[in-house]
Amino acid sequence: MGGKPEANTPPIPLLPADGEDSQLSLLLRTYLKPDDIEQVMTAYRFSDAAHAGQLRKTGEPYITHPVTVACILAELHLDPPSLMAALLHDVMEDTEVSKPELAERFGKTVAELVDGVSKLDKIEFQTATHAQAENFRKMLLAMSQDVRVILVKLADRLHNMRTLDVMAPEKRRRIGRETLEIYAPIANRLGLNTVYQELEDLSFKNIYPRRYAVLNKAIKAARGNRREVVGKVLEAIKYRLGESQIEAEVSGREKHLYSIYKKMAEKTGTFSQVFDIYGFRVTVKDMPTCYLSLGTLHGLYKPIPGKFKDYIAIPKANGYQSLHTTLFGPFGTPIEVQIRSREMHNIAEAGVAAHWLYKSSDADLSALQQRTHQWLQRLLEIQSESTDSAEFLEHFKVDLFPDEVYVFTPKGKIMALPRGATAVDFAYAVHSDVGNRCVAVKINHDLAPLRTELRNGDHVEIITASHSKPNPSWLNYVATGKARAHIRHFLKTMKSEESAVLGERLLNQALRALHADPALIEESRWAKLLRDYGIKTREEILTDIGLGKRLNIMVAHQLLAMAEAPGERSHKLGSITIRGSEGMAVQFAKCCRPIPGDPILGFINKGKGLVIHTHDCPAIRKFRMDPDKWLDVEWDPDTHRLFMVNLKLAVANQPGVLAKVATGIADAGSNIDNVSMEEGDNSAYTNMHFTVQIKDREHLATLMRRLRKIPEVVRINRVKGAIVEHRNQ
């Protein structure tokens, strides 16, 4: 906003007065037409009247807040609807003005923007966390329709952070953390560099006020000491570029406080050990000149190996483009240099806001808008897969990783993923169906596990199978919100569908025990039951029965309008047949790992559904006395799946014994799911623990006979009860 005014020059007022210019009107004149300015000032006058008499906690008239928000957006040269929404953004929350009234006076676009920024304060929530999450969800969904919603919200948050000193310390810390976790990363993701850096610094100041003060003081003290080095480097860069006949603007810049603090925290070092608090920026006319300048500077100072990044060839996800290099400067001080064109600089500073400032057909701008649109579409996908607002917010936070890796598809397309992303994240980034059906991956043409973390430059090819489906264990290592949301949604849907099928079988069993034909239950009885329970569909009741949230016998009684004394079971229920193909609705207990042929019992576990244990499992003794908890179950004679069994082998401690046992297991037609060995103590024998896949008890007996024939195997037995499983991480 220009240089510092002379001592005798009165400051430009924030709010307009009769015959006076204001900060806002002066900013608007730099890029808007008179008609557009009048529209914005009409919104100002309306907001001023609506907020008349209201004060901020700072004691200022409330109107100073929306005007400052509008000024922040005017500095980014946003369009009139955005500025009008900024001036009106609190009228729906804090005054009697309604959305239809705003639409009538200022148009539908402005009304939608204001509504997107407004909180859901008319709804009562169970907790403050739920209210916060639901407000984020509303705002982010509005943002996915029109990105200007979040631009207004970011400007609103920036001014609130600037004036947070009047709040209580605990509230300042809470708002600071929220800003650091949500708003600053969003600003970074949208390429609003100046807003992002100021939000980070203000968050740091309010979360850790003492650390901020100490570091700020140290930087001010260091400026004088380092001024000579900075001046010398600036002059050297300008002179060398001039010698090469390269026209360039060269400037030195100080890194923002929070980035210096992060660097100190990462390296667990002191401030004196952080040399590169100063960076240098070289701005040239076009892209080819960027690379010419790079060569010239590498001739001036030696580059540090491994510290060069080409964000021009592969831009960051927020559209940022520059060449980054770190050089050995005078006195051995490392100096960081960014080289970019003027267009790249405009996008680096304004991000998506550059769309409204630079009306051009520039390919970089259109690519930036395309990437932003893709990110917003991912938000919509995450929202559609998330069942509640808190889950949506969790997935969204995961998706705000600032650091990225760039990998290639089989067709050579570059994809950006957060650092730590795995092959599963890549599969979901390609398409949700690819993620749901992936079974293997080739990384740089070699097969690799799906949990493999991707690195810059990896060539990734996903292998899919039509019968495959997501594995719950994927949630332990995926790094993107999109992958996490799709996996959870798929598992919940599958569990709900499978639980409904199981619930229907359990209910039919109970009805038959009461001598009723399930097919003859009248629709009117179902309708009455739904009304009594206050739910909409029959599937919900069946799902609840399958998950153990409702007792099948009680639902059967209510359907038949019969009464039974509590705790009494006047009808013996038949047994449920277990096929092994029920999916997540039926779970096999890991403590005893039942297999076909074992005598079994089924226990209704609320939320998990039907859990199958062996008859003699120690873990179920306390439940055996409660008949409402268990069901008679039996194996279907024709099961078509493999079951896990825990085996413990005592073996002679000799070379090659593990290979012999593994070969024996494979020869018996079984597969090893997990193996671990007890820590050696130099004795002649050791214990090995295996989890193997088998079909039934007969298959298990065959496997154990084969293993006993191995000379080194001293003893073998099946383990029921607790077993320590050392799974590979």
Q: CA 54 → CA 70, 71, 118, 250, distances in Å? A: 18, 20, 18, 47
Q: What is the DSSP letter of 680?
A: P
Cα 604 from Cα 509, distance rounded (Å): 15
How far apart are the two ends of the chain, measured CA to CA in Å? 54
DSSP 529-550: HHHHHT-S-HHHHHHHHHTTSS
| Closest to 246 in 3D by CA, of 286, 280, 300 | 286
β-pairing verdict for 414-418 and 334-341: unpaired
Rounded CA separation 506/574 (Å): 10
Provide CB contacts within 8 A for 626, sequence distance 6+.
Answer: none
Residues marked as catalytic: 93-94
Four-CA torsion 389, 393, 394, 396, nearest 10 degrees: 130
Report the alpha-carbon distance of residue 683 to residue 651 in Å, rounded: 11
Dist. CA 582–CA 661, nearest whole Å: 32
Are the C-beta atoms of residues 199 and 164 closer than 8 Å to each other?
Answer: no
The DSSP annotation for 597-656 comes to TS-EEEEEETTTEEEEEETT-GGGGGGTT-TTTEEEEEE-S---S-EEEEEEEEEE--TT
> In the structure encoding, which two tokens stand for residue 152, read together?
């207004």
The CB density around residue 710, as the number of other CB atoms within 10 Å, is 17
C-alpha distances out from residue 397 to 42, 442, 490, 658, 699, Å: 38, 29, 20, 45, 48
* Exposure of 322 in the CB half-sphere (CA atoms within 13 A): 20
Q: Interhelix angle for 523-533 vs 538-546, to 10°?
A: 70
- What letter would DSSP give residue 182? I
Three-state DSSP class for residue 426: helix
- Residue 715: enclosing H or E segment and its boundaries? strand 713-718
Sheet holding 278-284, edge to edge: 249-254, 278-284, 334-341, 323-328, 309-310
Which residues, including other chains, have CB under 8 Å from residue 585's CB and lie 6 or more apart?
Answer: 495, 498, 499, 501, 502, 546, 547, 609, 610
